[in-house]
């Protein structure tokens, strides 16, 4: 038996609870993992609260990422005792996920935990830090280097935004952080932001083209915010879009693209090929310090997950929530 967050649907209504399940109910993957730590991501919170139709099959164990130890394997890629990490692949949406003490998945979805990293650190980073690293790699691939000018990060107090600020600062970029939480300015400066912007001007409808301000941006918000970010990007700059906290619509014009040669790059963390995943995690293990991970993350127990989901969606939590399966909170 193992404990898990389980989302069920009865009479078209969703019910969520911590349940004790028999291991025989796990999906039929080729690797079983004793989950040490998982996280509560934005997508997990949407699934748990039912605010968005994230879950595609019921019952479902949410949790789009986890880290832990292999306890059974019929795959040549992993043996018992291996430390592994998983992000994406529809886990927690169409396949039972990581907000449980055990998970059974396909071996091709797993990567080895980077050397020198422990499960808690991996999940302090989680899909949020991994997505931030993918976004930075996209900026780099499009020639956005620290000498080109400042980089804007929107939704900067969230999980992806927090890691984007910290990673960019570590790499030598000048980071501007956009947030609606003035009280978190010191937190963002601690992560490495040199300037803080109020999100309100960016979140309102704007002009097709604005004064050029930043060489690149990582946008976690979407909608009018992304449109305004594009409008104020310098000639030849690149914007990595990785979130939709404000909405999925993009009320923008072609002006930044055809008048300033701006590039918009979409960042998908779910289906990235294995070499890219390994490269991103290796860089994360090299760039982030223990103190940074501690500043960005808060540890909770499995029985605190459901209550935290609404708070996360309401913007009442900054940084990352790491779920420690051994915690008795």
pLDDT digits (tens, 9 = 90+) for 11-67: 888 999 999 999 999 999 999 999 999 999 989 999 999 998 899 899 999 999 999
Contact 91, 67 (CB under 8 A): no
pLDDT digits (tens, 9 = 90+) for 197-208: 999 999 999 999
Q: Calculate ∠ Cα 2-308-157, nearest 5°.
A: 125
Q: Quick one: pLDDT band at residue 328, thresholds 50, 70, 90?
A: low
Q: What are the chain's domains?
A: 2-113+290-324 (3.90.180.10), 127-266 (3.40.50.720)
Distance from C-alpha of 149 to C-alpha of 171, rounded to nearest angstrom: 13
Tell me: cis bond preceding 117? Omega within 30 of 0 counts.
no
> Cβ neighbours of residue 24 under 8 Å, at least 6 residues apart?
none
pLDDT digits (tens, 9 = 90+) for 288-309: 888 888 888 899 999 999 999 9
Distance from C-alpha of 199 to C-alpha of 210, rounded to nearest angstrom: 16
CB atoms within 10 A of CB 90: 14
- Among 242, 268, 251, which Cα is nearest to 156's? 242
> Cβ neighbours of residue 113 under 8 Å, at least 6 residues apart?
67, 83, 84, 85, 119, 122
Distance from C-alpha of 272 to C-alpha of 90, rounded to nearest angstrom: 12
**What mean pLDDT do residues 131-145 have?**
98
pLDDT at position 329, please? 45
pLDDT at position 46, please? 94
Residue 4 phi/psi, 5-degree rounding, is -155, 155
Contact 76, 108 (CB under 8 A): no
pLDDT at 175 over 50: yes
pLDDT at position 179, please? 94
pLDDT digits (tens, 9 = 90+) for 239-261: 999 999 899 999 999 999 999 99
3-state secondary structure at position 70: strand
> Cβ neighbours of residue 186 under 8 Å, at least 6 residues apart?
none
């Amino acid at each position: 038996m193992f404990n898990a967050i389980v989302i069920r649907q009865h009479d078209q209504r969703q019910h969520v609870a911590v349940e004790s399940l028999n291991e025989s109910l796990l999906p039929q993957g080729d690797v079983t993992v004793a989950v040490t730590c998982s996280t509560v991501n934005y997508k997990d919170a949407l699934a748990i609260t039912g605010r968005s139709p994230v879950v595609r099959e019921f019952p479902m164990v949410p949790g789009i990422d986890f880290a832990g130890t292999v306890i059974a394997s019929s795959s040549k890629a992993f043996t018992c005792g291996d430390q592994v990490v998983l992000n994406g692949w529809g886990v927690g949406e169409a396949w039972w996920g990581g907000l449980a003490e055990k998970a059974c998945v396909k071996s091709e979805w797993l990567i080895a935990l980077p050397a020198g990293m422990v499960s808690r650190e991996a999940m302090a980073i989680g899909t949020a830090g991994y997505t931030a690293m993918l976004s930075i790699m996209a900026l780099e691939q499009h020639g956005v280097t620290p000498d080109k000018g400042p980089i804007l990060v929107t939704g900067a107090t969230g999980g992806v935004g927090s890691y984007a600020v910290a990673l960019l600062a570590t790499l030598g970029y000048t980071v501007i952080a956009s947030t609606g939480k003035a009280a978190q300015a010191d937190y963002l400066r601690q992560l490495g932001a040199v300037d803080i912007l109020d999100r309100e001007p960016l979140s309102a409808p704007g002009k097709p083209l604005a004064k050029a301000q930043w060489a690149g941006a990582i946008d976690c918000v979407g909608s009018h915010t992304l449109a305004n970010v594009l409008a104020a990007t310098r000639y030849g700059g690149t914007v990595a879009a990785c979130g939709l906290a404000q909405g999925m619509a993009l009320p923008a014009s072609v002006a930044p693209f055809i008048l300033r040669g701006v590039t918009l790059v979409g960042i998908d963390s779910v289906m990235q090929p294995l070499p890219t995943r390994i490269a991103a995690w290796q860089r994360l293990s090299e760039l982030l310090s223990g103190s940074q991970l501690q500043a960005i993350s808060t540890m909770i127990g499995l029985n605190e997950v459901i209550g935290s989901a609404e708070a996360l969606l309401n913007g009442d939590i900054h940084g990352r929530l790491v779920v420690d399966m051994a915690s008795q909170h």
